[in-house]
């Protein structure tokens, strides 16, 4: 049965469903309007405002918040700060539940080029009893474009704001959030957590790397680590199509992906429209040459040049590198990074907004540059240039987590194996780099675990058929506070009729395998094996 996943949202991934908060008497709490500005080292507070919001509703917004969240009673704190010499204005928003505080602080992150999502991530957290915070890092807040902040008036990269986006503002936000929470509730949070995906996942990892005392536990989903290199690598499919002067119809890309899934689906003994272990799957696009695909009533032939383009896209920009960090897995959708559009009857390339903007504003410093003109030789130059100029600022891939480990921190990283935007092999590679830096595997298991999720796309947004982790934050809380080490993450997929499929996502390097009998749709009939 082919499943259609629910459209999990970024905000729901930031604060998944937990047990309901325990009511707090609030006898020692400070009046919201009596709160004082926090002391954040290295900053000057420009403005500070605190007000109560009663029976407050945050309305659903596509891709940010799936459902309305109503009945919130919170103390809403807005801080605007600046860093000396940076000429920035950074907004930090903190929400404090007026009832039922669970004693914890939760940092929430962003998506794309946005450092934070404000009420769309704070509402689910506050509804579950968390004191929580979000920041815009002094940026425009538009997750789709850095146009308003990337370059200064003289055309130079605004390094101060890039540093804010990379790491500094999450730390400032966390310092402020903890201080305000302690001031309001009369006691400091007994534990502090981070939960984010994509940019939010990268922010979580960089917190562990640079500010190891900020959080007791971190969930980092599909982390955008190695930013300066992987974002340029996202341009690769457009480069291939440009060099071959062949722009593939998205319908053909989807047909190829489904053919690959069909060819390798049964390797794990279960037909569920998911490739459990993509590295075992070998399926060539050349097998489809000579076939035809019905694309909205129009028959399109699968030609050899189309097969060549798909082959070169999947091979990645550096196929001789055995780790092949920047190659997509078979089973991952190809239509985002290989997107095209039709203008005046001619199909042309249409790059994904993250790599397109990064190249135009930061690497080339030319907002008007047409990235669809980039060929092989220029791609390699830009790839190296991006790392040389920005690797130290926003690489976020330092494997030395000894400080976080010594603080007693716990870290859960999860990544969909059908992610079409952030390459899963980069997460695997970082796992092994952390392991090598520790020089002891058992030590790593005590604080850092990776979970690779078959058939799941970027942050589990519902475009593929795999079961999405339901609540990794609860697993993290149990690990930190009860020393219950997570060997699996519970995962769920469902369709419009209400049919559900459950899976247990095993900690890397183990994988889930059907025991050979019982309901194939139930996680109870799967075990973790090497």
Is 198 one of the catalytic residues?
yes
Q: Are 278 and 331 in contact (CB under 8 A)?
A: yes
| List 88, 249, 419, 471, catalytic entry | 419
478/186 Cα distance (integer angstroms): 25
475/217 Cα distance (integer angstroms): 10
Q: Are 504 and 475 in contact (CB under 8 A)?
A: no
Give the three-state DSSP class for 220.
strand
| List 83, 415, 431, 458, catalytic entry | 458
Is 68 one of the catalytic residues?
no
DSSP output for 139-196:
S---TT--TTTSB-TTS-B-HHHHHIIIIIHHHHHHHHHHHHHHHHHSS--SEEEEEE
Q: Is 278 left (phi over 0), alpha (psi -120 to 50) or beta?
A: alpha
Cα angle value 120/151/10 (rounded, 5°): 20
15/138 Cα distance (integer angstroms): 23
Q: How far is CA 6 from the centre of its chain?
A: 17
The position carrying tokens 């504003």 is 361
| List 121, 167, 198, 386, catalytic entry | 198
132/436 Cα distance (integer angstroms): 34
Is 83 one of the catalytic residues?
no
Catalytically active residues are 198, 419, 458
């Amino acid at each position: 049965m082919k499943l259609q996943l629910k459209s999990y949202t970024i905000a729901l991934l930031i604060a998944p469903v937990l047990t309901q908060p325990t009511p707090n008497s609030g006898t020692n709490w400070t009046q919201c309007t009596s709160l004082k500005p926090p002391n954040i080292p290295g900053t000057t507070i420009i403005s500070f405002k605190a007000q109560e919001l009663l029976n407050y509703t945050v309305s659903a917004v596509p891709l940010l918040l799936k459902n309305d969240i109503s009945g919130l009673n919170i103390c809403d704190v807005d801080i605007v700060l600046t860093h000396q010499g940076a000429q920035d204005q950074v907004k930090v928003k903190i929400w404090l539940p007026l009832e039922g505080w669970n004693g914890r602080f939760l940092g929430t992150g962003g998506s794309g080029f946005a450092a934070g999502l404000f009420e769309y991530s704070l509402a689910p957290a506050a509804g579950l009893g968390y004191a929580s915070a979000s920041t815009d890092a002094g940026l425009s807040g538009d997750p789709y474009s850095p146009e308003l902040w990337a370059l200064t008036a003289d055309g130079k990269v605004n390094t101060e704001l890039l540093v804010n986006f990379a790491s500094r503002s999450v730390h400032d936000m966390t310092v402020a959030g903890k201080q305000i929470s302690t001031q309001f509730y009369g006691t400091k949070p007994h534990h502090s957590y981070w939960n984010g995906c994509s940019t939010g996942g990268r922010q979580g990892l960089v917190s562990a790397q640079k500010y190891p005392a900020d959080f007791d536990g971190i969930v980092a989903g599909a982390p955008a680590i190695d930013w300066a290199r992987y974002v340029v690598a996202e341009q690769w499919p457009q480069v291939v199509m440009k060099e071959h002067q062949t722009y593939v119809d998205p319908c053909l890309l989807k047909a190829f992906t489904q053919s690959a899934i069909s060819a390798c689906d049964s390797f794990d003994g279960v037909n569920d429209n998911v490739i459990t272990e993509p590295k075992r799957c070998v399926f060539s696009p050349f097998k489809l040459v000579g076939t035809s695909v019905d694309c909205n009533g129009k028959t399109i032939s699968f030609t050899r040049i189309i097969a060549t383009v798909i082959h070169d896209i999947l091979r990645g920009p550096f196929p001789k590198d055995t780790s092949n960090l920047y190659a997509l897995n078979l089973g991952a959708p190809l239509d985002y990074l290989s997107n095209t559009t039709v203008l005046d009857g001619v199909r042309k390339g249409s790059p994904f907004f993250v790599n397109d903007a990064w190249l135009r504003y930061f690497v080339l410093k030319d907002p008007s540059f047409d990235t669809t003109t980039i060929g092989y030789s220029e791609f390699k130059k830009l790839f190296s240039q991006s790392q040389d100029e920005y690797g130290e600022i926003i690489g976020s891939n330092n494997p030395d987590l000894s400080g976080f480990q010594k603080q007693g921190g716990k870290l859960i990283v999860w990544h969909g194996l059908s992610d079409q935007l952030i390459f899963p092999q980069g997460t695997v590679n970082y796992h092994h780099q952390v392991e090598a830096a520790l020089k002891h595997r058992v030590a790593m298991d005590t604080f850092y675990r990776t979970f690779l999720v078959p058939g799941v796309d970027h942050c589990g947004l519902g475009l593929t058929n795999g079961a999405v982790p339901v609540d990794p934050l609860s697993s993290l809380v149990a690990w930190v506070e009860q020393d219950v080490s997570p060997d699996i993450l519970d995962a769920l997929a469902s369709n419009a009729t209400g049919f559900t499929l459950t899976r247990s996502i095993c900690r890397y390097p183990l994988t889930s395998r059907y025991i050979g009998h019982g309901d194939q749709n139930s996680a109870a009939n799967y075990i973790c094996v090497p």
